[in-house]
Amino acid sequence: MVKKVLPPLNEQNQVSNIATSGEWKSEDASFLEKLAKGLKMGGEEIVSATDIVSVPDVWARVLIVRNGLLDNNQSIVNEWRGTLALLGLAPYYKHIYDLSSSIVNIQDIKNNPYSGGSPANDGLAHIGKILFDVKPLDTMAQGQDWNAVGVLNFNKSAIAVVNPYTMLAAAKDYTGINNISKLPWYEDGYLIDPCNARDMRNEQFAILSHYIQELINGIQGLTYSNMEVFNAVMARLQEFKTSCDAKSSGASFSSWNPTKVNLNLPAQPVYDKLSTIYIGASDQNAKFDCGLEVRPEFKDQIKGGIFADFRVAQSKGKTLSDVRVWNNYSLNSLRQDENLYKILKSECEEQGYLYLTPETIFTEKLVVLPGGDRKLKEHSRDGEQFAYPINSSMLMFMDPKAISTNCIISPDGDNYKAVLYLNLVSESGGSMSYTLEKIFKAKDVVKNRSVPLGFSIWPDIKTEDWDQYYFFYDGNTQVNILPKNIFSVKDINSKLESQTGSDKIKFLDSMIKSHEVIGEEIPIQQTSAVTELRTLKSSPEAVMCNVATQTGGRSFVDHNQRVDVGLILFPDPQEVKDTNNIWSIGIDFGTTNSCVFYKENKDEPKELGFKNRINLPYEPGNEEEELEEVMQAHKEFVPSRFVSVPFMTILRERSYKETSSENLPFRSNFIYYVDQVLYAIQDLPDDKRPLKFNLKWDEAEQSRIKSQYFISQIVLQAAVEAAAQGIKRENLQFNFSYPEAYSQDLLRSFRRITKRAINIGLNDESYKSEEKTKFETESISSALYFAQGQKIAFANNVVTIDIGGGTSDLSLWQDNKLIWRNSFRLAGKDVLIDYLTNNLPLIKEISGNDELLLATYDDLQKIKSNKSKLANGVELLVNSTTFGKAFSNRFDIVSGKERGKELKNLTELTLSGILYYVSLVTNHLIEQGHFKKGLTKSLRICLGGKASTLYKIVFDDSVEQERLAKMIEKVTDGAFESIALEFTHTPKHEVSYGLLVDKFGATDLNVKEKSHETVLGEDIMSGKNKVGVISDLDPNKPWRIKDVSKLKTFLKYLQSFSKIPVKLTKKLEGDLEGKINAELKNGQAKAIEAQKNQQSVEGDDSMKELQKTSSILEPVFILELKQVIKEIASGKLKLK
Amino acid sequence: MKNFIIGIGGTGAKCLEHLLHCCSSGLGPEDLWVGMVDQDEANGNVSRTKILLNKYINLRTSLRDEAKHDLTNNSNLFKTNIRTNNDSVWLPLKGADPTLKEVVHYDLLKPEVKGLMDCLYDPTEKLQNLSEGFRARPNIGAAAMLATTANENDPFWSQIYKAIDAARGGEEVRVFIISSIFGGTGASGFPNIARRIKTIQQEKNVTTNFHLGGALMLPYFNYEVPEENMEGELFAKPEEFLDQTKGALEYYSKLFEHNKIFDQVYITGWDPLSKLSNFKMGGNLQNNPPLFPEIYAALGALKFFSSENKISENQEIFHIGKNDSDEILWSDIPNVSNSLNSKENIAKLIRFAFSYNWMYGPALVGSWSKIKKYSNENWFKRLIYKYTYNSETKNCEVGHEHNQEVILAMKEYCEDILIWITDMHYSTILNTDQKMNLVVSEFFSEFKAKNVSNRVTIKEKLNYSEKNQFKDFVSDGKNLKLLNIMSNICYKKIYRDQKGLGVFMDILFRSCEQ
């Protein structure tokens, strides 16, 4: 036996044996191949074929690849596949690389390979000549040659030689090429077979498979040059395709778009096929394993969320590569390329997915809320309570219930552990549960902030129809958490609808990072104390809160200087089913008090109190004191208590000035519901946020706007109550009352303001306020109340007097027919308020020992120097229940004393004066034939209005009533011999009730009055004519009174019948005449103005119509009476 | 016939060492130009061979001097007229300490050519300092070789290029290249110098009388890489030998399939691989021992040069076998030709070296007063006295300087032979299960495997019993004793034209065979 003098050979070697030792044996060239294959290698390749450095050739790189393909050497084939994939997948990895190429003309560089000057002649052959001299001789296919090769560049760095043997041969070393390591099919310094790469997706294999198939198809038609190489390349391509097909596992594209990559390659066969790359038609849905399903509410806006968390893999016993984050990319891709997330995020955005990570899901800090009874309702109530440390964008995928169920926070030593159970879904419908955790270290736990009591949503109802919600915040940056982003389904949807394409996701993403305005934000106060209002279309589910980490002293801390701490969840609003019922709402916008009634379909009118519809995230407590705290916290918003009717007509002006011109509710003004008179009086001195009274009568433009604020809020609150009963806004009808005492301007303005306030209050421009708003005079409305509400028979003679805070509204009826009606501005204000304002000690007397009233009295003392504020304070006091009771109980006691007696007499004087005037009117109507004398001699006087309570106290005694009857009999010359006083059962309800009474139904009253004439009560000289009624006044002639004879007659009767002495001095008479004449001058000017306007306006607002229900001049007698009352109230005229 | 041999790289140089010894024994052609190529000028193996080459040439010149000492053409001792250039070693990149980048003027290249270079060479390769060879990166060497061998004016290459011209004139020219398939310089030079020569041949349109042969050493040894300071260095990693060899063989296979570059290629390796104890990456510390497989390359070259070697039209690749056992025997050594028995010549040479070194050399070294004690011995009288006797001065001048130079040179040369054969003997089988049954050397030598230099030291003097072991020194079964030599030396025929010390040298050489 002879042993070959060769390196160790394996047993299967094909090297021929030698017969005799020490004798050379001749072989041909194939011997070397046999020898190569026969070498006894280790168990596995020690040196990857790609690392072969033993080929002594300048073209070694290419030749090694060729040999590797011929031998099907795995490492070479793998790298070759990886190199081909660079082309095949180029369109899908544009974020990582850009391919380019250049041609190296070997034939040319043989002479000169240099780009500028040649180096000094050193006697050496240059590289161009070397490359040419030893260039390989054969090629894969005919038509190819080595005279030109290509260099493929990856991000402008050479990565492969495009050559006629192997098509592509990877560069010897490409580890330093920019971004190469980001390729999934790059590992440990080599391009690897994509089919072995961990981060490849099945669609990519489909893409590759198609590319390779097209390459095979293209090459198949060529004629081989070196059959061995040709066949090897084809075989390797076919194998590659098979591998890709196996990996594509069903992924397919509906069509393929060839993309000519801009490669400059030699014009030879094969290369054109190589550079034709395909893009699968993009009708494929995005692929992912860790998606978050979007809530049904947002399905039309975004497709879902993509969650990227490395720990998902481990938790599921998978590798990072096994978990596809997004299309081509797995968690491993993210691990390999720290900047990849930016691209993924952008791609997700483009396709409608929000890209989330643990860092973006959890907030930076956790707030541990102080313990106490006021537990957050929707948060776990076991142990400590926290804001859910989850960003608000997560609400796109988890509703509040899901968050409260799936987010658990527990102490962990000094730290806290937050756990969020997520249901991750794949695009194919698969799902897996995943527990996301975050440890909040002690430094990231905020413990000194609480949820302020002023943290609420209004209203607390939910219907299909209702779309107006307010989030109210009133807290302090140093002690409270602050609201950042509000999450309300409709507003988010609305915001998203206004965005297009990827901007929707960008918006949601920005919501994670920054403060985003959802709905509308009204920054009422921005100091260390923060008051905010946010208007929304649906009830917010949660509020993302932050905290100001650095105290800004008294200054406001902006959102960018705060740190997110988590979500406060709100309870679901009560769901109400819409009905088709109709509500008529009657609103009596009174001078001092306002009242609202409603009538559902044909039912009886009912009081419309405003329920506590504040939706609090926390338990308010049960103790009165606790509830009071909550109420105080909402003082600047809507009361967290039931608001019964009537309520005072007071508006509070905020220091915040609204920028829009719409005068929307709650912005710069809100209704000041007097809860406790003491607090209200304490609020009076605040000039920065003044309380506004007397809205009804102030003719200034600003004041009219205030009226609009007031009315629109009433409309809004009334509409909320309606909605809470399932009434749709379109099924609301509004009825407003107004006094005839309104001037024409005021009336026109009132009508317009009211209609506008309805649209504003309902937040519905489509609401046909023009059609659905009705107006009625207060006098008729009041009368209708008595007829319907108190079932007073109007068959005989009835006069209704609704004495409110500012006006008295009168109507005269006979035989169920309205004969006359009118109103004037002489009411409670002029009597009781004025008197008490000027006689504060009487309040103390009435207060007795009531601590609250006495305290109030003290507060009034403090503001007594400001008469206007004092008057408002007295008005607040008088309208308070406490005072009402005290007055009622103690008036008898104090009425015997000096001031009490004077007030009693003043009251009697006032009502007597009014009835005296009524008698004068009756006389006029009898004279005009409108009122039949003798039909019956009795007159029923219905007294309503808030101020009627005062009269009820005074005239409860039949003696006083008898006196009145005698005076009326006297004045009417016996038309009425007896009177009967009927007091309202529900003071101040009358008008709003009456507004809802069907005039032609139940009451069967004829409200088409014969006269709305204003009887002057005191004759006016119009030119040379003596005129008794306004309609006879000629605006073009001077108006004046000669004397106050009627007043004097009345005072004489008053003394005679009621024993109330009023002695007018000459001076006073003169003053009175002067004042009345000044009023007449104003009236005349108004009349001239009205005359001018009459021609230009038609319809309801025409002067003619307005004149029927409004007045340009109050009855002169009443003006005189009022002046006398004023003199008495102010103490200038004594009832002696 | 003009013969040229180029040993490339460390292995090439080592094979030349064997070849020189073979030529000393008479196995070489009549005439041979010897050159070496190594970028690593300081390579210990190259230096050793270069010195040996000089010794050979000088000694041969001294002993082939018709006027003084002449072995005459009849003698096989130092038979081959070996020539070389003034500098027998050619450095591809002289002077500077360039990198490949500098050699190809990378910075001046067209962008696309730069790109191509970036694909073909990695950054380390482009920046590798080439002064110490191509460090296991024959692709770097390929470029360097092809760049530098193109210079026809280079004195080294002009010899060969002129020979190609001579071939056109009808003279037979044979060029042989020896190198290893792995490593740097040799691996890269083997095909590229061949291709360059072929290109010149083609350019000179020489189609006949010119033949190119080569011996390619496949893995036959490996070594342990020291752990220290090798990080980032390019070098031939032993564990990669077979893989890299496979890659290279595949390359050669395809290259030779389509391109007949060589007429004959001699392929040799070894199994099991010899294990060198002391690896040095390059430089003068790389002084690897002569190993038995190298002798095949040397004998392959001599076979190629043999006039009996008829070169075929087809490219021939030769390989050889040895006995199947773990023993290395004389019978494993191939003959150069039918008329040139390698084992006999080599055995003769090393017996010559032994007997010269410890028997006759010591007797002849020194002044006459020291030497004259041998003057009455037959061999002295017959072979020395007579041929160193100056009739004019009537003195035996063996002790004179001009004779002593030759005597000492021969002693030195014989030491080299003894060390060569001993080192080869030890090193080839070191740490393997093999046995080397060519010589028995333990009695006169000491082997220190870890030594970089002076691995083998031989005794200055041998005692009687040691000398008595001469009969076992060469394991060719001939049982030749020193007494036989001493006897032979007295009877072997002196050729007529032999002169001076040439007489003794040749007679002793011839006496070393039966």
- B385 domain residue, yes or no: yes
Q: Note the pLDDT of residue A201.
A: 81
Same domain, A38 and A10: yes
Whether A2 sits inside 8 A of B323 (CB atoms) is yes
- A647 domain residue, yes or no: yes
Distance from CA of A5 to the nearest CA of B (A): 5
Same domain, B57 and B27: yes
Model confidence at B317, pLDDT cuts 50, 70, 90, reads very high
Highest mean pLDDT among A200-209, A600-609, A886-895: A600-609
Same domain, B371 and B470: yes
Q: What is the pLDDT of residues B108-136, one digit of tens each?
A: 999 999 999 999 999 988 888 776 666 66
**Domain end among B129, B149, B182:** B129
Q: Please check the confidence at residue A702 and state whether its pLDDT lies above 70.
A: yes
For the ranges A272-286, A315-329, A948-962, the lowest mean pLDDT is seen at A272-286
Taking only residues 242 to 281 of chain B, the set having a beta carbon closer than 8 angstroms to any beta carbon of chain A reads 242-259, 266-273
Is residue A1062 a contact partner of residue A1135, using CB atoms and an 8 Å limit? yes
On chain A, the residues whose CB falls within 8 A of the CB of B272 are 8
Q: Which residue has the higher pLDDT, A285 or B370?
A: B370
**Domain end among A719, A751, A784:** A784
Q: What is the pLDDT of residues A286-315, one digit of tens each?
A: 889 999 999 999 999 999 999 999 999 999
Model confidence at A1002, pLDDT cuts 50, 70, 90, reads low
Give chain A's length: 1136
Distance from CA of B324 to the nearest CA of A (A): 5
Same domain, B416 and B267: no
**Mean pLDDT over the full length of chain B:** 88
Q: Please check the confidence at residue B464 and state whether its pLDDT lies above 80.
A: yes
Whether A25 sits inside 8 A of B296 (CB atoms) is no
Q: Note the pLDDT of residue B95.
A: 67
Q: Note the pLDDT of residue A497.
A: 94
- A755 domain residue, yes or no: yes
Distance from CA of B122 to the nearest CA of A (A): 5
**Domain end among B129, B153, B184:** B129
Same domain, B418 and B301: no
Per-residue HEC secondary structure of B420-443 comes to: HHHHHHHHHHCCCCCEECCECCCC
Choose among B148, B218, B329: nearest Cβ to A7.
Answer: B218
Q: Note the pLDDT of residue A1075.
A: 92
On chain A, the residues whose CB falls within 8 A of the CB of B96 are none
Same domain, B89 and B29: yes
Same domain, B220 and B319: yes
B118 touches A: beta carbon within 8 Å: yes
Distance from CA of B320 to the nearest CA of A (A): 4
- B467 domain residue, yes or no: yes
On chain A, the residues whose CB falls within 8 A of the CB of B120 are 58-62, 161, 171-172
Q: What is the pLDDT of residues B357-408, one digit of tens each?
A: 999 999 999 999 999 899 889 899 999 998 999 888 888 999 999 899 999 9
Q: Please check the confidence at residue A942 and state whether its pLDDT lies above 70.
A: yes
On chain A, the residues whose CB falls within 8 A of the CB of B153 are 123
Q: Note the pLDDT of residue B228.
A: 53
Q: Note the pLDDT of residue B278.
A: 66
Nearest alpha-carbon partner for A692 in A703, A676, A681, A677: A703
Choose among B199, B246, B318: nearest Cβ to A24.
Answer: B318
Distance from CA of B370 to the nearest CA of A (A): 46
Same domain, A34 and A130: no
Distance from CA of A566 to the nearest CA of B (A): 53
What CA–CA distances, in Å, run from B150 to A399, A977, B105, B132, B357? 81, 149, 17, 21, 45
- A715 domain residue, yes or no: yes
Q: Please check the confidence at residue A1066 and state whether its pLDDT lies above 60.
A: yes
Residue B66: which domain range?
A: 2-93+133-326
Same domain, B81 and B98: no
Model confidence at A1094, pLDDT cuts 50, 70, 90, reads low
Question: What's the mean pLDDT in A841-848?
Answer: 90
**Domain end among B269, B293, B326:** B326
On chain A, the residues whose CB falls within 8 A of the CB of B333 are 22
Q: A518-551: string of b/e by CB count within 10 Å (b at 16+)?
A: bbebbebbeebbbbbbbbbbbbbbbbbbbbbeee
- A712 domain residue, yes or no: yes
On chain A, the residues whose CB falls within 8 A of the CB of B141 are 56
Whether B143 sits inside 8 A of A127 (CB atoms) is yes
Q: Please check the confidence at residue B97 and state whether its pLDDT lies above 80.
A: no
B240 touches A: beta carbon within 8 Å: yes
Query: What CATH number has the domain bearing residue B41?
Result: 3.40.50.1440
Q: How far apart are the first and last CA of chain B?
A: 32
Distance from CA of A271 to the nearest CA of B (A): 17
Q: What is the CA radius of gyration of chain B?
A: 24
Same domain, A56 and A26: no
Same domain, A29 and A148: no
Same domain, A70 and A31: no
The number of C-alpha atoms within 13 Å of A290 and in the hemisphere containing its C-beta is: 30
Same domain, A674 and A697: yes
Q: What is the pLDDT of residues A249-276, one digit of tens each?
A: 877 787 888 877 778 999 999 998 898 8
Predicted-complex ipTM score:
0.94
On chain B, the residues whose CB falls within 8 A of the CB of A36 are 245-246, 249-250, 253
Residues 6 or more apart whose Cβ sits within 8 Å of residue A180: A97, A154, A155, A159, A174, A186
Q: Search chain B and give the residue with CA nearest A36.
A: B246
Q: Note the pLDDT of residue A1096.
A: 54
Give chain B's length: 514
Nearest alpha-carbon partner for A579 in A728, A359, A376, A410: A728
Q: Which tokens sit at A180?
A: 């190469």
Model confidence at B91, pLDDT cuts 50, 70, 90, reads confident
Question: What's the mean pLDDT in A445-461?
Answer: 95
- B414 domain residue, yes or no: yes
The H-assigned helical ranges of B176-240 are 185-203
Model confidence at A489, pLDDT cuts 50, 70, 90, reads very high
Same domain, B291 and B368: no
Same domain, A615 and A701: yes
Q: Note the pLDDT of residue A629.
A: 92
- B500 domain residue, yes or no: yes
% of chain A at pLDDT higher than 70:
96
Q: What angle do CA B370, B78, B286 make, to 5 degrees?
A: 90
Q: Please check the confidence at residue B185 and state whether its pLDDT lies above 80.
A: yes
Same domain, B257 and B367: no
- A93 domain residue, yes or no: yes
Quote the CA–CA distance of A98 and A100 in Å, as a whole number. 7
Q: Which residue has the higher pLDDT, A292 or A1105?
A: A292
- A1106 domain residue, yes or no: no
Q: Which residue has the higher pLDDT, A319 or A163?
A: A163
**Domain end among A784, A818, A849:** A784
- A770 domain residue, yes or no: yes
Nearest alpha-carbon partner for B63 in B71, B54, B53, B74: B71
Whether A18 sits inside 8 A of B220 (CB atoms) is no
Quote the CA–CA distance of A626 and A992 in Å, as a whole number. 34
Same domain, B234 and B197: yes
Q: Please check the confidence at residue A21 and state whether its pLDDT lies above 60.
A: yes
Residues 6 or more apart whose Cβ sits within 8 Å of residue A877: A677, A681, A836, A843, A853, A856, A860, A883
Same domain, A235 and A148: yes
Residue A694: which domain range?
A: 583-784
Whether A5 sits inside 8 A of B268 (CB atoms) is yes
Question: What's the mean pLDDT in B54-61?
Answer: 94
- B335 domain residue, yes or no: no
Same domain, B146 and B228: yes
Q: Note the pLDDT of residue A45.
A: 59
Q: Which residue has the higher pLDDT, B278 or A746?
A: A746
Q: Search chain B and give the residue with CA nearest A226.
A: B258
- A1108 domain residue, yes or no: no
Taking only residues 164 to 193 of chain B, the set having a beta carbon closer than 8 angstroms to any beta carbon of chain A reads 181-182, 187-192
Choose among B187, B246, B254: nearest Cβ to A39.
Answer: B246
Q: Is B483 helix (H, G, I), strand (E, B) or coil?
A: helix
Q: Note the pLDDT of residue B410.
A: 95
On chain A, the residues whose CB falls within 8 A of the CB of B138 are 53-57, 60
**Domain end among A765, A784, A803:** A784
- B17 domain residue, yes or no: yes
Q: Which residue has the higher pLDDT, B234 or B366?
A: B366
- B99 domain residue, yes or no: yes
The structural domain count of chain B equals: 3
Q: Search chain B and give the residue with CA nearest A103.
A: B112
Q: Please check the confidence at residue B234 and state whether its pLDDT lies above 50.
A: no
Same domain, A91 and A38: no
For the ranges A916-920, A941-945, A968-972, B157-161, the lowest mean pLDDT is seen at B157-161
Same domain, B481 and B391: yes
The structural domain count of chain A equals: 3
Same domain, A634 and A721: yes
**Mean pLDDT over the full length of chain A:** 89
- B320 domain residue, yes or no: yes
Q: What is the pLDDT of residues A644-673, one digit of tens each?
A: 999 999 999 998 887 777 788 998 999 999
Same domain, A1 and A93: no
Same domain, A5 and A80: no
Question: What's the mean pLDDT in A389-393?
Answer: 94
Q: Please check the confidence at residue A1097 and state whether its pLDDT lies above 70.
A: no
